[in-house]
Structure 1
């Protein structure tokens, strides 16, 4: 999988390529059709002309001075000195004498093609006229040669034309995508401050309501308001991170070795209150050493936090969430598995679509889609596996990197739980 920006650029390039290919194919097809029509018209015209001359020669031609490219054979007549070998066709002469019906056939002799017509004249003499088709066949070959050259030139011209048309026609799409990203970034920035202020004020009012012992319905209403504004702030944060990743995913200058083991423990600690309120057990295990990956710590923290938050949200009270880290020297795997309701395996890939609505009615919003953008922006992959009623398992795989040189080796990390 690729980051959003790479995917958009790839789609734009593919759109240009499709337009270029379609344009070239249409022009090529038209030229082929024109060539076939020209060949058919030329062949028919030649055949009609040859047959007219052949019939005239067989019926009225002078035996001693036949038309050009034609030879006449009859009983008692001496063939011309340049007459082709293998003629006349005796079987046709005998057949016409028996049936008095004209016979016309194509004969392949001497490396060329002849058209032979045998018929009985009004005076009873049976005459066979033979026409050499080599010049007509040569004209057809020259026609196809010229069409082939024109086809190659036309194909090059069509490819260039298609490329130009593709660039001109797709340019508005690329500009629209860029404007969309700018709008999301600008809108998110403009909304972030007032939403943060509203969220802070709502929290203060909620605490004051509890201290003043206001009626339960008022306290519950303020609590719901705090939750709603908090979720709105989380969506804005997601949009901002997604826009920044699309604009410049995980810039190399910002990449540093990140201890994924310590980061995972820190994320679990941040969710301690939710874990306790939900009556869950969360463990962190696997590798007994620090595992480093190169990347942006804030983005990776958001990705791991999304996986853990997703597992906590879908695991009922008394359930268990396991965070496991393993390293192979070339890659680091972080797996978050839970004992929640799971999901249909057919939806595993669609879970990472923005605002995907699962078959059970659950909606996943931007979180998992943003998670994939972060992971792919760091050169990694993320997969999901699960079965209905048997929980879910999400696995992030990232390239492992060396620890920072100035770092003092940490004490061995042991499995723990919250």
Structure 2
């Protein structure tokens, strides 16, 4: 049974039937109690005939008719010291004595269920107050076969009634649940399957309903997630196309650079001092153009590889990443030699190198790196004395091609660094920035998530 609707209908019928069963047993017990009360009342009415007779006696024919009316072998009524009785002949041996007023609810249920399954016929005596007058104690002796037949007939009626109520109730509950839960879930599931096949199709993005419950929240969150995925796929497609274009541009520029290098020898030995003065600037401009295209190509065409985990000393990575910083920037490595993480050394080097080079290129003269480990999380702080980030750079600080704060920058350094940090289960965040410098905080788990367990 794979259908959610079929399983829901079956479970609804089962649980409603279970509820009816819990009602069935008390109902049968209540019927038995009412049956015995009716017999006691009928017996009291029969005894009242004796009270109105002149000598407190009736004929044999009247006694037989009264006992037949009650359905008993004998009837007795006691009030105070007086006692009246009706009996035509000596009754069979009494097998059990029932006193309904002294039975607990569980006993009443047990006696009623026993009467349903018991086939042995027996004579019973019932003693209890008259429903018409509680001061009168009635005692009747009768055969229990009519009682058992009446209970069984009532049980059959209540069973079919309960069955009808259960099926109709279950069906109505099923219709409500199907409308409120199953159909929306099927709609969500169908949409997910269609979107997975064609995520670029905007018409397949979930159109959420106006519901305010959990289904409505799920629809809105799914629509938001699909929109995000579609935008990411679109951006990835555009970046792939950009990568192809940049690869071609990069190839052509390298050829131009080779030609420029050949020409540069002649330009530098030119007798014209103006030519010798501008030659280095031309070459620098070409170098910067090639470097820009190369960095863009590396970012667009780069897929983050699987982590090659090992114990990595943070201090050594910082030292290697800070070698040869541009603009003569100096590195102060304050990371303890014993501080380490379980991560990919190559990727950690890329993170630190991007952060340090960004700071140096932004105008920092001194870059200080410190680190500590707290609650199994390694926190690395990079503080520089540069001019700080511009408002424009702050708006899109971690977005590729948008977060650069310097002319000619791509904005890829911080984007790559954060992406690699998150692949380790950590993060990169800007703590402060201003005219006195900028502080970034890099957090990494001491043990990478892929290494847990």
What TM-score do you get using the length of structure 1 for normalisation?
A: 0.49
